[in-house]
Amino acid sequence: MTQLILIRHGQTLWNQQRRMQGHADSPLTEAGVRQARLLAHRLKQVAFGALYSSDSGRAHQTARSVAAVTGHDIIVDRRLRERHFGVFEGLTGDEIMLRHPDAYARFKSRDPKYVVPGGESALAFRARVLGCVSEIAVRHADGLVVVVTHGLVLDMLYRVARGIALTEPRTFSLINASLNQFRFDGCAWHAETWGDASHLNEELLTSA
């Protein structure tokens, strides 16, 4: 059995502005920096064997806050990036509807095979995420690992663990800097803890 604690990065400027991020990036807000610091002190109390991070700036900045407190080296893996949203990146929902109405309609249909122009489909994203986290789990068999990543990476693993189809709308929150623990038994993923943000003040609970 391997345990993975997946963590969404701290709040970013584009989270606050409700802009699509994907492979593009924006800095942590002041709240995001505070979230990362509180997360780090929470993880100081956890005996984990390795610290992984997406190579995106927002995730790596969050991971650096953790590493500064726990002393772990950060293992960077670009496969832990957010889903690639191509031409949607950097735009708000309203801007996407205005500039790319046909693509936005296809995207909102939740067709898992649909590829956003310049981006990737939900199916391709799932394959990338599962390939990466399964490899990490096998590498650290019977251990506990922390992975700092992105909201839709959490979403994807939760769907896999709970048997939620890609076509189903999300009904659960993706809280910045929360702890989300999964167990891998060698064949299947199991969700054990979701959205644990007990280390954050109420004013720092963000999920946009």
| Euclidean distance between CA atoms 30 and 76, whole angstroms | 24
143 φ/ψ angles, rounded to the nearest 5 degrees: -110, -175
Q: Closest Cα to residue 75, out of 28, 16, 13, 132?
A: 132
Estimate to the nearest angstrom the gap between the alpha carbon of 2 and the chain centroid.
Answer: 19
Sign of CA dihedral 150, 50, 178, 37: negative
Apex CA 92: angle with CA 108 and CA 81, to 5°? 75
C-beta of residue 108 within 8 angstroms of C-beta of residue 36: no
Catalytic-residue membership of 9: yes
CA angle 61, 65, 67 (to 5 degrees): 110
Q: Is 23 a catalytic residue?
A: no
Distance CA(118)–CA(85), nearest Å, equals 7
**What radius of gyration do the chain's Cα atoms show?**
16
Helix (DSSP H) and strand (DSSP E) numbers for the chain: 7, 6
Catalytic pick among 23, 82, 100, 120: 82
Residues that are catalytic? 9, 82
